[in-house]
């Protein structure tokens, strides 16, 4: 996940240029991810991203529905920029998308989106599912509206949420990405930009199934690696043809080299629990909702079997005591008779 703090948006003013870009310091080009912790303490934290999600270890839950507002509204203008690190998208919109519900406490406002990919179809994504690496990943970043902008949101543990969508290779091209991929040919060199003729909405760029997803608490995947992100990884991948993904790999970085491998290595899960939202009925899941007390009829139905079991145990104890006494008398009687017969033998 790459965050641009160079453009700050006020949540109370709807007319903005929504920029996609990078929080890039010169140190990024000098140090590999394994050395980030030398400059940024958070990069060695215990709740870092990305992670490998083991689907057998997740906790299944039935979370409230995610509410996507403004996702189906095409922006007035959308620009693509090769900034040398990723594809940077700039949108001008009167209706800034928001998301709420699901695992989120509050409403989050759209901030930016960007992509991660490798130099072939065997790797490129940041998070993995059951050790499976996807060829590319989309990150759509939101900040909590209470904090007014992305920069302030970084100071709060619930400041950001990222909707992550994986890509898989399909034999057929995805028509929703046709203009997007075509425009990439205009920005193969770093710091070049181009503009959409028909700007897509966010809904056009993401997967159809937004019910099934994994969610966990994590971090930015670039410095400062702030642990302020609620990750929502959708299970259904977006399908692109091999040639469509290759269009991303045809871009050059600032030094004229192929722009690939813009992803961080997997980080330890630690003590975190990954939740999996499903439409299956999940029992005994505590979602923090108070339970209503049972009605009088329901309470009687609960209490009656308990009374019967208690009565049965009491009767069982009495019967057991009587049986025990009977055995004791039988033992004494047998011993007495043995003494009598023994005395007859001695005479």
- Report DSSP letters for 262-313, one per residue: --PPP---TT---EEE-SS---S---SPPPPPPPHHHHHHHHHHHHHHHHHH
Distance of alpha carbon 8 from alpha carbon 43, whole angstroms = 24
Letter string b/e over residues 18-29, b meaning 16 or more CB atoms within 10 A of that residue's CB? bbbbbbbeeebe
Q: Residue 89: its pLDDT value, please?
A: 83
Annotated catalytic residue 15 = no
3-state helix vs strand vs coil in the chain, percent to 5: 25, 25, 50
Q: Considering the candidates 47, 85, 116, 139, report the single residue annotated as catalytic.
A: 85
Distance of alpha carbon 54 from alpha carbon 51, whole angstroms = 9
* 10-residue averages of pLDDT along the chain (347 residues): 51 46 40 90 98 98 98 94 88 93 98 94 98 97 96 97 98 97 97 95 96 99 97 98 98 95 96 97 60 56 54 50 43 39 39
Q: Furthest-apart CA pair in the chain: how many Å? A: 127
CA nearest to 21, candidates 86, 91, 92:
86
Q: Residue 283: its pLDDT value, please?
A: 74
Distance of alpha carbon 203 from alpha carbon 183, whole angstroms = 19
CA-angle at 228, arms to 167 and 254, nearest 5°:
55
Q: Residue 334: its pLDDT value, please?
A: 41
Q: Residue 251: its pLDDT value, please?
A: 98
Q: Residue 297: its pLDDT value, please?
A: 52
Q: What are phi and psi of 72, to 5 degrees?
A: -95, 5
């Amino acid at each position: 996940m790459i965050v641009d703090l160079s453009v700050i948006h006020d949540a109370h003013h709807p007319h903005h240029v929504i920029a996609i870009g990078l929080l890039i310091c010169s140190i990024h080009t000098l140090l590999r991810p394994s050395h980030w912790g030398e400059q940024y303490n958070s990069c060695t934290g215990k709740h870092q991203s990305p992670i490998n999600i083991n689907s057998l270890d997740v906790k299944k839950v039935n979370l409230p529905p995610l509410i996507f507002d403004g996702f189906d509204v095409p922006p007035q203008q959308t620009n693509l920029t090769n900034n040398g690190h990723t594809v940077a998208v700039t949108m001008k919109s009167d209706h800034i998308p928001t998301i709420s519900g699901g695992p989120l406490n509050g409403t989050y406002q759209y901030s930016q989106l960007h992509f991660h990919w490798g130099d072939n179809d065997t790797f490129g994504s940041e998070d993995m599912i059951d050790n499976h690496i996807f060829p590319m990943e989309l990150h759509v970043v939101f900040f909590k509206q209470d904090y007014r902008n992305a920069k302030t949101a970084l100071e709060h543990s619930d400041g950001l949420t990222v909707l992550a969508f994986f890509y898989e290779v399909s034999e057929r091209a995805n028509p929703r990405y046709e203009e997007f991929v075509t425009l990439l040919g205009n920005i193969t060199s770093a710091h070049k930009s181009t503009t959409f003729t028909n700007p897509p909405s966010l809904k056009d760029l993401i997967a159809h199934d937004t019910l099934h997803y994994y969610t966990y608490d994590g971090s930015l995947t670039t410095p400062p690696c702030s642990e302020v992100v609620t990750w929502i990884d959708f299970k259904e991948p977006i399908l692109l043809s091999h040639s469509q993904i290759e269009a991303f790999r045809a871009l050059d970085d600032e030094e004229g080299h192929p722009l690939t491998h813009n992803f961080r290595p997997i980080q330890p899960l630690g003590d975190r629990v990954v939740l999996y939202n499903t439409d299956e009925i999940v029992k005994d899941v505590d979602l923090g909702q108070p339970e209503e007390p049972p009605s009088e009829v329901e309470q009687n139905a609960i209490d009656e079997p308990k009374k019967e079991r208690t009565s049965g145990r009491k009767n069982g104890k009495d019967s057991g005591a009587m049986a025990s006494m009977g055995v004791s008398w039988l033992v004494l009687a047998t011993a007495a008779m043995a003494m009598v017969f023994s005395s007859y033998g001695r005479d």
